[in-house]
């Protein structure tokens, strides 16, 4: 897939249900408070950002937040769940989410935006011109004309763990992990990560237990407030796989991995588990849980339970 084809990222999950046919590039969509397509913007330094667009005033900050939440989560999951077969040499780091408002909301949007790490930003320079060009191109696909210039811009910074092993682990997974969709070989991605950490970096103790998940979590997840806490895709998927192995190790549960097959646009659905217990069967949206626990911003002085604690409570 060429870079120009990837500039508009069709995000997975509930968005297809919210706006049927949104993956068809020729569909004419009405202007909405939160546009149901996300623009992928490549930067000159090799990194990239994701751009969300607003073309219609929202009725309230609460309504705007409710519309923005699934878009932010789906945009991040579309990156985090990229299969290994589409990464390799062409993997570039996500550095920001940008929201361009072409409509004057006449509201204090801070309550809607702060939970995602968005803050006002002044757009300048060549990268800003590129963002605006992409946004205007997307605006031309709408069923009604909209203003040519945004009235406000907001940006959520994206930053990963500073642990030196975090980047090395992802590089090792790119080299040694099987290049197949998540769930095709249950537990293999988690085992590859644990074995490499133990043998190459002397980082032992990663395993399907609360303590083992917390060990991997300590490597991949940081607690800097107001920042999307990035985890490289295969490391994110290995963390999901490790939680799934913990679930499967419980004798009272029967656990099946969903296979995250990418679609024609290269977008893979987030990890999901099918869990049976006694006469009850239910689905666990594992990718969404790990996203909310480990990737979404935290507030200053906010203390959250660990992912290991959640997994233990959920399954054990």
Counting every residue written for the chain, the total comes to 316
Torsion sign across C-alpha atoms 180, 10, 48, 34: negative
Q: What is the mean pLDDT of residues 122-148?
A: 89
Q: Name the strand (E) or helix (H) holding 8.
A: strand 8-9
Q: What is the mean pLDDT of residues 224-232?
A: 96
Residue that has been written with the tokens 């969709």 in this structure:
181
Q: Between 257 and 130, whose confidence is greater?
A: 257
Q: What is the rounded average pLDDT for all residues in the chain?
A: 89
Q: pLDDT at residue 285 above 50?
A: yes
pLDDT in tens, 57-67: 999 999 999 99
Q: pLDDT at residue 155 above 50?
A: yes
Q: What is the mean pLDDT of residues 94-114?
A: 94
**Angstrom distance (rounded) from CA 293 to CA 307:** 6
**Angstrom distance (rounded) from CA 244 to CA 248:** 6
Q: pLDDT at residue 136 above 90?
A: yes
Q: Residue 183 in contact with residue 259, Cβ under 8 Å? A: yes
Output b/e per residue, 275-297; b: 16+ Cβ within 10 A: beeeeeeeebbbbbbbbebbbbb
pLDDT at residue 10, rounded to an integer: 43
pTM over 0.85: yes
**Angstrom distance (rounded) from CA 38 to CA 122:** 20
Lowest mean pLDDT among 77-91, 94-108, 127-141, 196-210: 77-91
Q: Which residues make Cβ contacts (< 8 Å) with residue 308, sequence separation at least 6?
A: 209, 210, 211, 212, 213, 214, 217
pLDDT at residue 21, rounded to an integer: 45
State the DSSP code for 185: S
**Closest CA relative to residue 236, chosen from 273, 186, 288, 198:** 288
Q: Which residues make Cβ contacts (< 8 Å) with residue 33, sequence separation at least 6?
A: 54, 55, 56, 57, 58, 63, 64, 67, 103, 105
Adjacent-strand bridge partners of 54 = 101
Q: Which residues make Cβ contacts (< 8 Å) with residue 175, sequence separation at least 6?
A: none
pLDDT in tens, 2-36: 444 344 444 444 444 434 444 445 468 899 999 99
Q: Phi, psi (5° rounding) for residue 90?
A: -95, 10
CA 289 to chain centre: 11
**Closest CA relative to residue 232, chosen from 168, 179, 293, 297:** 168
Structural domain boundaries of the chain?
3-158, 164-315
Q: What is the mean pLDDT of residues 139-167?
A: 94
Tokens of 304: 């959250």
**Angstrom distance (rounded) from CA 198 to CA 261:** 30
pLDDT at residue 15, rounded to an integer: 40
| Predicted confidence band of residue 89 (pLDDT cuts 50, 70, 90) | low
pLDDT at residue 1, rounded to an integer: 38
Q: pLDDT at residue 105 above 80?
A: yes
Q: pLDDT at residue 213 above 90?
A: yes
pLDDT at residue 166, rounded to an integer: 96
């Amino acid at each position: 897939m060429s870079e120009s084809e990837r500039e508009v990222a069709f995000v997975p999950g509930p968005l297809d249900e919210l706006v049927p046919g949104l993956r068809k590039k020729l569909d004419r969509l009405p202007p909405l408070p939160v546009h149901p397509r996300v623009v992928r913007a490549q930067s000159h330094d090799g990194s990239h950002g994701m751009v969300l667009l607003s073309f219609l005033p929202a009725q309230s900050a609460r309504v705007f937040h409710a519309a923005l939440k699934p878009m932010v989560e789906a945009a991040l999951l579309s990156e985090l769940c990229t299969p290994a077969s589409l990464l390799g040499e062409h993997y570039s780091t996500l550095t920001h989410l940008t929201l361009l408002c072409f409509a004057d909301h006449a509201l204090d949007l801070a309550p809607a935006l702060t939970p995602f790490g968005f803050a006002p930003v002044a757009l300048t320079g060549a990268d800003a011109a590129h963002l605006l060009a992409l946004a205007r191109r997307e605006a031309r696909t709408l069923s009604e004309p909209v203003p040519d210039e945004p009235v406000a811009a907001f940006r959520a910074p994206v930053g990963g763990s500073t642990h030196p092993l975090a980047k090395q682990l992802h590089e090792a997974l790119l080299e040694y992990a099987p290049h197949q969709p998540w769930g095709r070989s249950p537990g293999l991605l988690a085992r590859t990560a644990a074995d490499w950490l133990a043998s190459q970096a002397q980082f032992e103790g990663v395993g399907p237990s609360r303590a083992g998940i917390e060990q991997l979590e300590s490597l991949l997840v940081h607690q800097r407030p107001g920042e999307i806490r990035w985890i490289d895709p295969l490391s994110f998927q290995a963390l999901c796989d490790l939680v799934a192995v913990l679930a499967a190790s419980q004798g009272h549960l029967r656990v099946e991995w969903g296979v995250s097959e990418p679609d024609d646009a290269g977008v893979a659905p987030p990890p999901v588990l099918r869990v049976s217990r006694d006469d009850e069967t239910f689905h666990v949206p594992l990718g969404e849980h790990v996203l909310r626990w480990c990737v979404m911003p935290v507030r200053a002085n906010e203390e959250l339970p660990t992912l290991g604690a959640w997994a233990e409570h959920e399954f054990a």
